[in-house]
Structure 1
Amino acid sequence: MRMGVSPPYPHDDTGQGVSIRADIAADAAAVSLLTVHGPWDHRLRRDTSVSLRRCFTEHPDALIVDLSGLRDPHSESVPTWVTARAFAAALQPPVHLALCVPPDLPLADRMQGLGAGGRCLPVYAKVGQARVAVAGRIPGGDRLATTLRPDPDAPGAARHLVSDACLAWGLAHLAHPGRLVISELVTNAVRHAGTPIRVVVTRRGPGLHLSVGDGSPRMPRVLPQARRRGEPLDEHGRGLHTVRETAELWGAVPTAEGKVVWATVREARTVASPEAG
């Protein structure tokens, strides 16, 4: 079991680094923003490649790469963006990828020039322009979303949303594992965040992508299991242990308001935790 989360590479004293942030659009589409700062060298190329792989593992609807703080006078980073475009296009469904490069930088001209060779990668001057553009390309038919209050009824409402999605998309075999995972993610948000909870269920080819956003910046951790004396282990659920054992991938990413915890479910697995409700 792999967890698709790793810490972003913070900016050092020279302002060099890579950061990732998730955004949830008004239509519940998931858009990741990857920001690259500093001079392009071997270290930044490596950190950027690792961060891009992380973003693609999370499989957002779209990825915006902000290069307004990148210093690359000789456009040496071009192969990285061309490779990223090919990888994004090969995913099912494809991830919409866009670059943000100020038009006065040499890299902008170089990337625009690639369009003649059939390798066009959309380039925009500002992040806001890129957000508007990618929003128009993201289909909305394979996505259900709701906002829940942080109360005891929230996990049940989230489970019903997964059931509705599986019924609508012909994925009945994923209903049980999907309900288990979403229940634990929402329960964690209720207990530890106590803020409104945004739940999004998205079809990803033959699987489900589940995301739960809340207003707490505290990232989730898998803790050792514990129980009170005489209390069954599953009395209050098994939290992230259930997510880890049931989902194919899971992870978390910060947002401007808090965080999004996500999981991908692709096939039913036998799990020890009984489903509630």
Structure 2
Amino acid sequence: MHLECDVDASVVLLSVRGRWDRDLWKSTTERLHKCLTEHPEALIVDLTGLDDPTGASAPTWMTAQQTAAAMMPPVQLALCIPPEQPLADRMQRLGARRYLPVYARVRQARVAIASRLPLTERVSLTLDPEPEAPSAARNLIGDACLAWDRAELLHPGRAVMSELVSNAIEHAGTPMTVVVSLRGAGIHLSVADGVAEPPRLIRPSRERPGRPLDDRGHGLRLVGTLAVAWGSLPTRTGKVVWATLQPPAGPAAQQGRNDRTSRLPATRRNERY
């Protein structure tokens, strides 16, 4: 079984390989749960390497679809099954194509999903591991929160992004891709670097009390405090560390939030500092 995501953790690819039996069903169910817990925008399940001559795995994928669709916001789920496999025929006979897209190849699934992702609600920067990188990433957060009417997430978003970028500089030391995107009423932050090793918590003894939050912060423990969820996923070239922030519970969101079209200048969408 192989897991991989893109640089902003919006699309996760899970490849299931081997003969379908109880052990593979158990490990697949656990991995599907983990993938959905990461709450990407889309999950592609590649079954081209699955040996399932009777289509016995069909209920697993249908259950996964129901779970993904019930999430807020919903997660797009797609399967990749060669048409000659018995599973493809069973999925079609069960009527799964009406609500669970099935593609012959991963590339087809990626193209189809990309066309449905809200690209106007995502901004990114490519940063070098320099001292100015956290400041540039914080500025991106500020611009995005103001443009998307997420002012209540501006300060916690800046703090979380500062920690993610600082951690990448300290432990990876490679160029990184920083992405901010809308996720329902909240925002999703991600930092992709070139090192596969998972992120490490900064020990309390290494923290420096009294310094401004935007100057250094308090490690990934701060991320865990401010974010409703955070984690890391492997990419083709390293890893991506992500965090999701939601506004505090309170009155209903303002009507202006219904207009979720980004007002950021196009030139800010892919800069390099």
Note whether the superposition's TM-score is higher than 0.5. Answer: yes
Which range moved further: 211-220 or 83-92?
83-92
User: Which residue pairs with 2:219 in the alignment?
Assistant: 239
Cα shift at 1:119: 4.3
User: Which residue pairs with 1:98 in the alignment?
Assistant: 78
Residue identity in the other structure for 1:97:
L
The one-character-per-residue Cα deviations of 1:107-143 (angstroms, maximum 9, x if unpaired) are 011112333x774311111111111111111121221
Residue identity in the other structure for 1:216:
V
Q: TM-score, normalised by structure 2?
A: 0.84
Cα shift at 1:222: 2.1
Which range moved further: 201-210 or 250-259?
201-210
Cα distance between partner residues in 1 of 2:97 and 2:17: 28
Cα distance between partner residues in 2 of 1:129 and 1:210: 27
Identity between Structure 1 and Structure 2 (%): 55
Q: TM-score, normalised by structure 1?
A: 0.82
What is the aligned counterpart of 1:192 among 168, 171, 176?
Answer: 171
What is the aligned counterpart of 1:215 among 180, 194, 199?
Answer: 194
Cα shift at 1:219: 0.8
CA contact (8 A) 2:166 2:216 kept: no
Cα distance between partner residues in 2 of 1:74 and 1:154: 53
Residue identity in the other structure for 1:224:
R
Structure 2 residue matching 1:89: 3-state secondary structure: helix
Matches within 5 A, 1:14-93: 18-24=1-7, 30-93=10-73
CA contact (8 A) 1:112 1:120 kept: no
1:151 and 2:130 matched:
yes
Change (3 A) 1:20 1:29: closer
Give the paired residue count: 246
Cα distance between partner residues in 2 of 1:250 and 1:208: 12
User: Which residue pairs with 1:163 in the alignment?
Assistant: 142
Change (3 A) 1:90 1:70: same
User: Which residue pairs with 2:256 in the alignment?
Assistant: none
Cα distance between partner residues in 1 of 2:80 and 2:97: 19
Cα shift at 1:203: 1.1
CA contact (8 A) 2:142 2:158 kept: yes
CA contact (8 A) 1:227 1:233 kept: no
Residue identity in the other structure for 2:36:
F
The one-character-per-residue Cα deviations of 1:150-189 (angstroms, maximum 9, x if unpaired) are 1111111111111111111211111111111110000111
1:109 and 2:63 matched:
no
Residue identity in the other structure for 1:196:
P
Which range moved further: 217-226 or 242-251?
217-226
Cα distance between partner residues in 1 of 2:192 and 2:23: 32
